[in-house]
Structure 1
Amino acid sequence: MRLVFMGTPDFAVPALHALHAAGHEIVAVYSQPPRPAGRGKALRASPVQQAAEALGLPVRHPAKLRKNEEEWAAFAALEADAAVVAAYGLILPQVMLDTPRLGCLNIHASLLPRWRGASPIQSAILAGDTQSGVTIMQMEAGLDTGPMLLSGAVPITTDTTATSLHDALSALGGQLAVRVLAEQPTPTPQPEEGVTYAPLLTREDGRLDWTQSATALDLRVRALTPWPGTFTLLADGTVLKIGGAIPLPHHKHTATPGTALDDALTIACGEGALRLTRLQKPGRGMMEAEAFLRGQPMPADTRLYHTLPAASA
């Protein structure tokens, strides 16, 4: 088939490779424009653009699609059978959705209709879901509301992190996209029940509230690492990023939540305790707990805070 592929981050790269390996003619790849990155703020092409160029595929990166009639015409001139979209980052106007012969197909990282929206991978872990997956859907104007073509599930275990789930769903998305184009299954409307929304995440979502249970805090660390990242505060206002932890849900204590229960980074929670295994101070790299403690011991009774007391702010 003649395909247009539209994607930007690492998540979309395996799908591009899978479609190319399956023998489809990818007539154009759309990706968001290069962005300033690194200390020198030099323009850096997206992972999808880099992958496309390595495959010798033409890349387009318009800054916008809304009211961009020139781009609409260029898209139509490609005469694609279908467009496959994976985390592209720009909303496709209806005129573009209607252009390819088979329409536009989206690779969405959840088992729709659960977790429509911007952060399906993180939201599934954060909610304590036992499985996630990928749904290939026919795109329409609504937010992830289109009819479903094919889906596949991936288990979420107590060891699953946003990174490991991202990688599993990324690979699965490519496999399912190839199958959909080969099999062309009949679209199935999404059920009206079971709809949930995955919000756009911000840095504040990573702030750890020690009054929560150890289980809930472990979910937050696993869901929001590496992005937007989880963090806590020392009494002097120093921000500690937390990159890994072990929940101790049955640990009994009478300490104030946020208090170190020993000198090995076991922190009291509202219920149980959380043992921190990876930490990062400002200006330093993420490090294992043992290495961190060599540079900054944290004896028992050290306090960690969700927000600083007013007198210390």
Structure 2
Amino acid sequence: MSLRVAFMGTPDFSVPTLKALAEAGHEIAAVYSQPPRPAGRGQKERPSPVQAYAESRGWEVRTPTSLKTPEAQKAFADLNLDIAVVVAYGLILPQAVLDAPRLGCVNVHASLLPRWRGAAPIQRALLAGDEETGVTIMQMEAGLDTGPMLLKRSLPITPETSAQELHDALAALGAAMINEALEGLDDGSLTATPQPEEGVTYAAKLDKAEGRLDWSDGAAALDRRIRAFTPWPGAFFEVGAGKGRERVKVLQAEPREGRGAPGTVLDDQATIACGEGALRLKKVQRAGKAPMAAEAFLRGFDLPAGTVLP
């Protein structure tokens, strides 16, 4: 089986699926990605991971800012596609685009739909304390992740799972599933199943402000927030007052037993009282510094027992 495919994706998460399509022998007619964005200290425009990989393979890359114009829709239709595969692309696909390929458009989504439709399913699953997540490959329609499902596979979430680990595992799982989905769709052996009406949740886009650690929350919930928001946008607390106040990112922590007013430092090992239980910091990062173990942080930062963090 070899299909004429357009791939539509932008971040690192998308690249393994693009590689899997190429390795299976599908014809990559064009690759769509978000336009290059300013990045780094010099704010030079940097192509997305998908664009960089596609260009290294010599494929045509298109980076429109919208697919709503007649010109963009005609350019897409003129590709004469069998199918389009969409993985974390970031642009809305109008109905004319959805209808253009012979087999329509399929989406590789990082959740067990209908749970966690939307922009940040990996982080929201961790924040909610879900015990499993997975990948759903669905036939796309106009609604937000509402299309009927072709394939669904699950992965466990452990109390130690981080967003980065889950990201990498789900990216690999989606890549392992895509060719089975395309083959089944093409030969008719896979029938798309409507999503259940019950159990719908929405994974809202992440806001940096959500990374602030509220010590009145329970230690388990704060640990989930740290794991969900690492590496981006980062979980943090502030220490000090006035102009001397400093923001510290928490990269790793562990719930511990302990009691005290929320935000109180309980010992000389950076154990902080929470609304329920306590949280011991394991790895942190000061502004402008490299990540460091909590022990190294405490050698250069005065955080004695009895300190109350805001």
1:252: how far off?
3.5
Instruction: Write the mapping of 1:1-313 to structure 2, written as runs, cut at 5 A.
Output: 1-66=3-68, 68-184=69-185, 185-236=190-241, 237-248=245-256, 251-253=257-259, 255-305=260-310
1:216: how far off?
0.7
Partner secondary structure for residue 144 of structure 2: coil
Residue type of the partner of 2:288? G
What is the percentage of aligned positions where both structures have the same residue?
61
Q: Distance in 2 between matches of 1:261 and 1:160?
A: 26
Residue type of the partner of 1:31? S
1:239: how far off?
1.0
Residue type of the partner of 1:233? E
RMSD (Å) for aligned C-alpha atoms: 0.9
Partner secondary structure for residue 53 of structure 2: helix
| Contact 1:235-1:303 within 8 A present in 2 as well | no
Partner secondary structure for residue 85 of structure 1: strand
Q: What runs of 5+ residues in structure 2 fail to find an aligned partner?
A: none
Q: Distance in 2 between matches of 1:95 and 1:136?
A: 21
Q: Distance in 2 between matches of 1:304 and 1:276?
A: 13
Residue type of the partner of 1:215? A
TM-score of the superposed pair, with normalisation by structure 2? 0.95
The runs of 4+ residues in structure 1 deviating greater than 2 Å are none
Partner secondary structure for residue 152 of structure 2: strand
Structure 1 residues 252 and 288: alpha-carbon distance in aligned structure 2, compared to 1, 3 A threshold: closer
Tell me the alpha carbon deviations over residues 131-159 of structure 1, each in whole angstroms, 9 at most, x when there is no partner: 00000001111010000000110100011
Q: Distance in 2 between matches of 1:32 and 1:179?
A: 27
Greater mean deviation of Cα atoms: 95-104 or 238-247: 238-247
Partner secondary structure for residue 272 of structure 2: strand
Partner secondary structure for residue 111 of structure 2: coil
Q: Distance in 1 between matches of 2:36 and 2:177?
A: 28
Partner secondary structure for residue 138 of structure 2: strand
Q: Distance in 1 between matches of 2:79 and 2:148?
A: 25
Partner secondary structure for residue 53 of structure 1: helix
| Contact 1:263-1:297 within 8 A present in 2 as well | no
Q: Distance in 2 between matches of 1:33 and 1:43?
A: 9
Residue type of the partner of 1:104? C
Q: Aligned residues, how many?
A: 301
Q: Which residue of 2 aligns with 1:310?
A: none
Q: Distance in 2 between matches of 1:143 and 1:247?
A: 36
Q: Distance in 1 between matches of 2:59 and 2:180?
A: 22
TM-score of the superposed pair, with normalisation by structure 1? 0.94
Structure 1 residues 38 and 252: alpha-carbon distance in aligned structure 2, compared to 1, 3 A threshold: closer
